[in-house]
Amino acid sequence: MEGTYVTGSVEETKDLAKEFAKELKEGITLCLNGELATGKTTFTQGLGEYFGLDRMTSPTYVIVHQYPINPPESLIKTFYHVDLYRLKNYWEIRAFSLDELWSEKSNLIVVEWPERLETYLPKSRYEINFKTLGADSREVTLKLI
């Protein structure tokens, strides 16, 4: 699913994420770009709800949260929510061995502040951009590259 969408509430951003999640293949990385409070974590929570996860909090302080996906029919077995906001350079990021995560096909990896990783991101990935339009409205652009 690609395109540009405008949401008018937290619930609508989560609903968009759930629509998007329906078509997601295993082994994909989602890069969530956008300024503070544009809805990156909200969108991730919507994805999590689609996979049956209901207690997702922002991993800003721990960098990576890992959630098992339980339904046996799901090809995605582990959901990683990564927030690089507090990391300063690639060497700090290496400590988390993120490159090992890309190589496991059954992982879904969602990265907030992916620009911290620059050229080390997997070549094939979704670039998702968030923009604040007004108090309750956000523009979300989904693109597979």
Ligand X SMILES: Nc1ncnc2c1ncn2[C@@H]1O[C@H](COP(=O)(O)OP(=O)(O)OP(=O)(O)O)[C@@H](O)[C@H]1O
123, 129, 122: which is closest to 143 by C-alpha? Answer: 129
Nearer to Mg ion, 45 or 107 (CB): 45
> Binding of ligand X at residue 111 (CB under 6 A)?
no
- Options 17, 30, 41, 98; binder of ligand X; rule CB under 6 A: 41
Q: Which of residues 50-69 bind Mg ion (CB under 5 A)?
A: 58
Q: Which of residues 105-124 bind Mg ion (CB under 5 A)?
A: 112
Distances in Å between the Cα of 136 and the Cα atoms of 6, 11, 37, 44, 90 are: 10, 11, 11, 17, 34
Cα separation of 48 and 6, whole Å? 20
Helix, strand, coil in percent for the chain, rounding step 5: 30, 30, 40
Cα separation of 13 and 112, whole Å? 16
Q: Residue 144 corresponds to which amino acid?
A: L
Q: Which of residues 1-40 bind Mg ion (CB under 5 A)?
A: 40
- Options 62, 136, 143, 144; binder of ligand X; rule CB under 6 A: 136
Q: State in angstroms the smallest separation of the CB of 103 from ligand X.
A: 26
> Binding of Mg ion at residue 41 (CB under 5 A)?
yes
The entry of ligand X, Mg ion, none that residue 34 binds, CB within 5 to 8 Å by partner kind: ligand X
Instruction: Classify burial at 107, counting beta carbons within 10 Å of its beta carbon; exposed 0-12, middle 13-18, buried 19 or more.
Output: buried
Q: Which of residues 6-25 bind ligand X (CB under 6 A)?
A: 7-10, 12-13
> Binding of Mg ion at residue 45 (CB under 5 A)?
no
Residues lying near ligand X in the complex (CB under 6 A) are found at 7-10, 12-13, 34, 36-42, 58, 112, 130, 136-138
